[in-house]
Structure 1
């Protein structure tokens, strides 16, 4: 059995609990940012975890993510609504790269037995990969900028049982899935104006601040 490093354990725990999938760039830039020959080191290590069945490698077609250094839109109760058309234009115009086949990594049932959470679920449809990678990037940005807030991240898989007949966001920051969120987080993909407005109206109705990435 491969001896797991603290870095290995964090990657596996995040895949089991916070996000569904990570790609090589996300793994490299997050956990090997200052390493000489960074890409090779990251690939070798994640492939080693795959060899011992702690991660699953799946090749999917996904769009290269645009820069995600800050939210495209944010709102809080008792403030004016954003310009939905302008938000939609920013979301749609940011996609400049094409779709490419790329390896992505998910947790296995073996890793979920070690770390809890979920594992053993492969991406059912390749076109979900871009969305899930975008959600993962939201989490990684939060982890980098505010570790305390990242610790309160709850993804949609954990939220779903508590959101009966309600819109299901990509993630929230909250003490628990059944508690009122401090912040609602949504990966906007290439949402059109109507979808941006629908998301806003749902959060507005429940007086919940949000960010669209």
Structure 2
């Protein structure tokens, strides 16, 4: 970090590390609400300073306004009975009613931040059409961070683990223990229909993995 002209605060460190290692992007509003107590002008000012240091990049994406994510829609462990797939799918789809896509400012870790923090971000979105899903994943991380900092630290994002899961379906994230063994699979259900919910459940059940579907 000595190569940086800007002194990084603990808040800067957590934001940059999370974007480099755990989630693909945050909306400007998510950042302001979580790290700046809702003070958007102060958040924007600091984000621009970090961008000037080539640590962040901003972009405009088309995304739906996210519903409140208080708890998983389904939580399952091996040995449990299967969830009500139809009911879970209904809740996945119903929560998006009257939430049309809108332009949204989002922030992404730069190539420099990826090098400094050991991540895989490259300063651009590979699939900008998935912005709503990626923002939903980010919202799940923020919720887990509120509930338990240990869970947030145990989060291993999809891109960080893709190389270890060749030929397998890759969920949005894993929560791992100290030995990097998977404790929970984390998936943001977006607007999944029953077929996708069923496929996700069957894949986890077949591999004996506990999951939370948000």
TM-score normalised to structure 2 length = 0.92
| Mapped contact 2:120–2:160 kept (Cα < 8 A) | no
Q: Contact (CA 8 Å) 1:185, 1:211: kept in 2 or not? A: yes
Residue aligning to 1:56: 57
Q: 2:14 aligns with which of 2, 10, 25?
A: 10
SS of residue paired to 1:157: helix
Cα distance in 1 for residues equivalent to 2:44 and 2:56:
12
**1:110 and 1:119 in contact (8 A); partners too:** no
* Corresponding residue of 2:130: 128
Structure 2 Cα separation of the partners of residues 125 and 73 of structure 1: 27
Counterpart-to-counterpart distance in 2, 1:138 and 1:15:
14
Structure 1 residue runs of 4+, over 6 Å off?
none
Distance 1:206 1:13 in 2: 30
When normalised by structure 1's length, the TM-score is 0.93
Cα distance, 1:162 vs structure 2 = 1.5
1:188 match: 189
Structure-2 residue corresponding to 1:144: 146
Give secondary structure in 2 for the equivalent of 1:104. Answer: strand
Shift of 1:113: 2.6
Q: Secondary structure at the match of 1:167?
A: coil
Q: How many residues align?
A: 209
Segments of 5+ residues of structure 1 without an aligned counterpart are none
> Which whole-Å deviations, capped at 9, do the CAs of 1:139-195 have from their partners, x for residues lacking one?
11111111112111111112211212211111011147x954110100000000010
Partner in structure 2 of residue 82 of structure 1: 83
Alignment of 1:1-213 (within 5 A): 1-33=5-37, 38-95=39-96, 96-175=98-177, 179-213=180-214
